[in-house]
Structure 1
Amino acid sequence: MKWVRGLVGVLSLSLMAACGNEQADDVSEDNPLNVVATTSMIADLMEIVGGENVTVSGLMGPGVDPHDYQPSTSDVNTMTEADLIAYNGLMLEERFVEVFEQMDQRGVPSVIMADALNETELLDPEEGEEDLEYDPHIWFSVSHWEAVTSHVADVLSEMDPDNEGYYQDNADTYLSELDELRTYIEERIEEVPEQSRYLVTAHDAFQYFGEEFDFEVIGLQGLNTQTEAGTGDISNLADFLVDNEINAVFVESSVSPRNIEALIEAARSRGHDVENAGELYSDALGSAEEDADTYLKMYRSNIDTIVDGLAN
């Protein structure tokens, strides 16, 4: 593919210019580790666990779709200067694969969120997702994100053993906040009758949420946002909405609402009234203005939108 060949060329030039990434000594607030994170969820986590001892550069901002994000020359240059690269794995950042491989060959350390989990904890992709071995949307399991948090603390501790206690304390504090988040989610879900716990979204990003909190999740598109939904998919899902008396569906901040709007119209053509019950954050955090710029805020916003849409 042309974008791969061009990117490899840029990467080669960048790495030739780089003098190598030797880990900084005596890591501290005045001499922090330079961490480059792909998605906004990962950047948030690295800042929380690393605290004052890291400077985090996030490559993808609010509303950016990591499935189709193509790294720029600037991104590659930023990664060559990193002390640590943090990314999700499981082919979420599909267009970064060659970059990650080259960085590894050059000795730039990385921490991969998916490495915190074993294969039995990962969900299989839906039929037709040949490019994916597992569902990459692991952050929607709070339990998985707890495991990821501990993994990040361990990796930072290995890189900077003098500050191990600091990283582990930060992780422990955040794990308590994640436990509080789980309680909040469970309490809010109680407001939704069991027969109404269907989450219909633009693409299939919420299966880990469904698995952990007993929701049936249906994504109009597949796990990858580049998988197109056809007229048959829309028609079949409209029939499903009618048969199960589902009156609310949700759009996503990083996915075009076009297919969901078509689904709503298809259901209405069958005499079934369905509403767009709000926007969910799926593959990226929201902005500070939206009060969804951290993982905790994002998840609370999502669960409030889901429950308010389904409970009414």
Structure 2
Amino acid sequence: MFAFTMGIGFRVWSIIIFCQVVCLSCVQPDERLQHGKPYILTTTGMIADMLQHIVGDSATVEALMAPGVDPHLYKASQGDLVKILSADYLIYNGLHLEGKLASVLEKQHRTKPVIAVAEDLPGLIELNRGSYDPHIWFDVSLWKAATAQATIQLAKLDCANAAYYQVNAASYMAQLDSLDEWVWTRLNSLPEDRRVLITAHDAFGYFGRAYGFEVKGLQGISTLAEFGLQDVSALVNYIVERRIPAVFLESSVSDRALKAVMAGVRQRGGSVRIGGQLFSDAMGAPGTPQGTYIGMIKHNVNTIVEALL
């Protein structure tokens, strides 16, 4: 774990140094902009929050997906297509998080910059050959690396603001370091045998690896995956045998799957409760603490700890 974290840390500082070189070489603004300042369209709220910290007031940032929207199932509307065509830069997660929408975005590469913040990061969880878990934001150190990568790309595209972006990104990454320390401190209050996280779909793999949790989801990495009676039965047996006290709903996923599991546990004579709702593939509403990346992570960690203690 320490070696993995150190590897990411070294990569982040290498990126920052490279970004400084980019800043020194930038002298002209990008002439391709359709607007007075860049209009940056992202897919998820997490990416929009990251980008807003980097660009400050030098660009307009908008998320295509509203709070509570499942990116795995998202289909672009006519209004979305207008925004996609109008944007100066398109920034998405990648690694198949956005499903078919990703191909729509990639086709715009011929006319404008299209950036996938999760691609080519160090330490991605490989699911099978050439396929990776896209839920990188649940490892704060990995999200910090994604922030550094995004900063490099923006510095190249908007040379006039490159130094400004770097300063903003360094400040935000310091906040992420503090968040990571807070997560560790909060989770250390849980006994090791209580560190089991059960959710509707398998979105918390990076969280489990980073912070020492066993993670189980009824559905696979994508909510497109179907679950059957055998999957429900296996999870019911696991909960009963391990005496897991709580399972967790997700704000962007139907509760149908977990309700079937809870019913199965009761039929086996066991007891399990809903520990609360976690934000998995989407943040909370704008203007709320959960409507920011840092606030979302803190909400999730507090909910997990309070339910499993």
**Structure 1 length normalisation: TM-score?**
0.86
The corresponding residue for 1:246 is 244
- Cα offset for 1:57? 1.9
Give the whole-Å Cα distance in 1 for the aligned partners of 2:287 and 2:206.
Answer: 27
| SS of the residue 2:106 aligns to | helix
| SS of the residue 2:289 aligns to | coil
The corresponding residue for 1:89 is 94
Residue number among 24, 32, 36 corresponding to 2:33 in the alignment: 24
The corresponding residue for 2:127 is 125
The answer as to whether partners of 1:71 and 1:95 remain within 8 angstroms in 2 is no
**Which residues of 2 match residues 205-224 of structure 1 at below 5 A?**
205-224=203-222
| SS of the residue 2:270 aligns to | coil
Counterpart amino acid of residue 32 in structure 2: Q
The corresponding residue for 2:23 is none
- Cα offset for 1:262? 1.2
The answer as to whether partners of 1:22 and 1:83 remain within 8 angstroms in 2 is no
Give the whole-Å Cα distance in 1 for the aligned partners of 2:282 and 2:256.
Answer: 19
Counterpart amino acid of residue 114 in structure 1: A
Per-residue deviation, residues 64-113 of structure 1 (Å, max 9, x unmatched): 000000011111111111111000001111121331232012x2102211
Give the whole-Å Cα distance in 1 for the aligned partners of 2:150 and 2:126.
Answer: 24
**Could you tell me the percent identity over the aligned residues?**
41
The answer as to whether partners of 2:95 and 2:119 remain within 8 angstroms in 1 is no
Q: Does 1:113 align with 2:111?
A: no
| SS of the residue 2:275 aligns to | strand
5+ long unaligned stretches in structure 1: 1-20
Q: Does 1:268 align with 2:266?
A: yes
The answer as to whether partners of 1:113 and 1:148 remain within 8 angstroms in 2 is yes
- Cα offset for 1:116? 5.1
Deviates more, 1:81-90 or 1:224-233: 224-233
Give the whole-Å Cα distance in 1 for the aligned partners of 2:49 and 2:258.
Answer: 29
Runs of at least 4 residues of structure 1 off by over 4 A?
none
Counterpart amino acid of residue 207 in structure 2: F
The corresponding residue for 2:19 is none
5+ long unaligned stretches in structure 2: 1-29
| SS of the residue 1:279 aligns to | strand
Counterpart amino acid of residue 297 in structure 2: Y
Aligned length: 280
Give the whole-Å Cα distance in 2 for the aligned partners of 1:192 and 1:117.
Answer: 30
Give the whole-Å Cα distance in 2 for the aligned partners of 1:234 and 1:99.
Answer: 35
The answer as to whether partners of 1:116 and 1:148 remain within 8 angstroms in 2 is no
Give the whole-Å Cα distance in 2 for the aligned partners of 1:87 and 1:75.
Answer: 14
Q: Does 1:175 align with 2:143?
A: no
Per-residue deviation, residues 7-49 of structure 1 (Å, max 9, x unmatched): xxxxxxxxxxxxxx95239x9xxx3211010111111111110
The answer as to whether partners of 2:106 and 2:114 remain within 8 angstroms in 1 is no
| SS of the residue 1:52 aligns to | coil
Give the whole-Å Cα distance in 2 for the aligned partners of 1:108 and 1:67.
Answer: 24
- Cα offset for 1:289? 6.0
Give the whole-Å Cα distance in 1 for the aligned partners of 2:181 and 2:103.
Answer: 40
Residue number among 274, 278, 281 corresponding to 1:280 in the alignment: 278
Give the whole-Å Cα distance in 2 for the aligned partners of 1:55 and 1:306.
Answer: 34
- Cα offset for 1:281? 0.2
- Please report the RMSD computed on the Cα atoms of aligned residues, expressed in angstroms: 1.8
**Which residues of 2 match residues 1-312 of structure 1 at below 5 A?**
23-24=32-33, 31-105=36-110, 107-115=111-119, 117-118=121-122, 121-125=123-127, 133-288=131-286, 290-311=288-309
The corresponding residue for 1:16 is none
Counterpart amino acid of residue 186 in structure 1: W
